[in-house]
Structures are given as C-alpha cells and as structure tokens.
C-alpha cells in the first residue's frame, strides 16, 4: 500500500511539474520556431513604401538571447516609372531585457546580404530592358520589437528595424516630367552619393515553436 502511495505521489508531482513548465514560460533556451512575415519598407531614399514577404527561423541560445535567421522579398512601385525589387537574407540577435507575461519586448541587431534590382518602365513603343540595373551589397540592421504570445507555442511579433546598406548605391533618379515620372538609371548629372543608403523595416510576423532542443 505504501508503494502505491509513493507511485501515486510521484505521478501527481511529475504531472504538476510538466503542467507548470508548459504554463509559465513562453521563451526558454533551446526553443526552435519557424514563421512567416510581411514587411513594409519605409523612409528609404525614394520616399516610397514597399511591401514584402518573408520567413524566419528562431533558435534561442539563452533564456534572454534569441537568434533570428530570415529572408525577405520586397517590391516597390517607383511612382509608376519602374519597379525596385529587394531581397534580404541574414541573421539577427535578439535580447530580452524583461518579460511581461505574454508581452516580451526585445532589442534586435544583425547583418544581412542584400540584392536590389531596378527595372524602368517599358511601353509598347520603348524597350528599356537594357536600362535595368542591379547590385549585391551587405547591410546592418538594428531596432526594437515585441512578441505577443497567443498561447505557449504561437506568437505574433512586431518589429521596427533601421537598415543601413554598406555596399555601393544603385544610382538612379526619379525625374518629374509633364507626363509623370521618368526613371533614369544612368544619371550623368549628379555626383555619386556618398551617404549610406538606409530605410526602416516594419515587420509583422507569425511564429510557431516546433521544438525544444535543449
């Protein structure tokens, strides 16, 4: 009888322990999650917002430090005069200074590789495909964000990151004409811009924890 009591007590204790762990901690070291995201790029050199899609994996290395591995594809309509496509692939480190139950704010910083392509508008009378320009560069990004946990596995995350491109600029100009804008991808009248190309990325993501690795 005594043995039965011991078994029952052990089972109740272990069940209680498992329940407590599942209920209280939204973020812990060793967690691996995957998710999708939509990104808006604003305050760039063109002053034109872009819409993007992407995904990310998050691997948490410590209770207060997470890592994010992401890829984004963003397209911009250059005032009807052309299209700019951007692709980012990179990583970031996220630091959690404090956790407020379901809300967990964080500081984020990282690095990425960036591909950009600018396609001027062609018409039935003019083929401007030879004027397409593109380049690879790298960039650094940093900002703030917060998770909101709907349950212990699923969270919505919003972040704002400022991204600075470290490589060469894509030299092009949007010129206002009487019939709208014209995209000049071979500007000869201006000096090469020495400023860092930069923009703000606002990202909303959906994330699901799929594993606790350690």
Partner 1 sequence: MKKIFVVCILLLIGSVSFTQSEKDWKIKTALSFAPGILTEKTYSLQLQGYLGFLKDKIEWRGEAFYFLNSFGDRPRFSMNHQLYMGAFYHFTETSFQPYVGFQPGIALSQSSEYGSLNATTQQLEYKKAVNPVGSLAAGFDFFGEKFFFLFVETRYIFGKHKADSYPVFLDEWRFSFGLGLTF
Burial of 72 (0-12, 13-18, 19+ CB in 10 A): buried
Q: Which is nearer to partner 1, 196 or 200 (CB)?
A: 200
Neighbours of 46 (CB within 10 A): 17
Number of residues that bind partner 1 (CB under 8 A): 38
The residue within the footprint of partner 1, chosen from 27, 31, 44, 54 (CB under 8 A), is 54
3-state secondary structure of 98: coil
Contact 56, 62 (CB under 8 A): no
75 is an interface residue for partner 1 by CB under 8 A: yes
Among the listed ranges 47-55, 61-69, 138-146, 160-168, the one in contact with partner 1 (CB under 8 A) is 47-55
Q: Which is nearer to partner 1, 6 or 166 (CB)?
A: 6
Q: Closest separation between CB of residue 192 and partner 1, Å?
A: 26
Q: Which two tokens stand for residue 84?
A: 């700019």
17 is an interface residue for partner 1 by CB under 8 A: no
7 is an interface residue for partner 1 by CB under 8 A: yes
The residue within the footprint of partner 1, chosen from 56, 66, 68, 76 (CB under 8 A), is 76
**Residues of span 125-144 touching partner 1 by CB under 8 A:** 125-129
Contact 139, 115 (CB under 8 A): no
The residue within the footprint of partner 1, chosen from 63, 83, 146, 198 (CB under 8 A), is 83
> Angle at CA 180, nearest 5°, toward 174 and 185?
25
State how far the Cα of 34 lies from the Cα of 145, in Å rounded to an integer. 17
């Amino acid at each position: 009888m005594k043995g039965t009591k011991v078994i029952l007590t052990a089972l109740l204790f272990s069940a209680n322990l498992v329940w407590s762990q599942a209920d209280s901690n939204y973020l812990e070291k060793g967690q691996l999650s995957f998710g999708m995201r939509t990104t808006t790029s604003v305050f760039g050199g063109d002053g034109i917002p872009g819409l993007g899609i992407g995904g990310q994996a998050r691997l948490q290395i410590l209770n207060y430090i997470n890592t994010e591995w992401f890829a984004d594809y963003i397209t911009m309509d250059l005032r009807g005069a052309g299209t700019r496509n951007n692709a980012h692939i990179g990583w970031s480190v996220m630091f959690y200074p404090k956790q407020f139950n379901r809300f967990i704010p964080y500081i984020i910083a990282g690095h990425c590789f960036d591909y950009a392509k600018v396609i001027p508008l062609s018409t039935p009378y003019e083929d401007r495909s030879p004027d397409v320009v593109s380049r690879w560069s790298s960039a650094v990004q940093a900002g703030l964000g917060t998770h909101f946990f709907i349950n212990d596995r699923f969270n919505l995350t919003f972040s704002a990151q400022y991204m600075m491109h470290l490589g060469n600029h894509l030299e092009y100009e949007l010129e206002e004409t009487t019939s709208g804008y014209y995209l000049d991808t071979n500007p000869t009248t201006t000096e090469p811009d020495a400023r860092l190309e930069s923009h703000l990325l606002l990202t909303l993501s959906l994330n699901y924890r799929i594993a606790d690795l350690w």
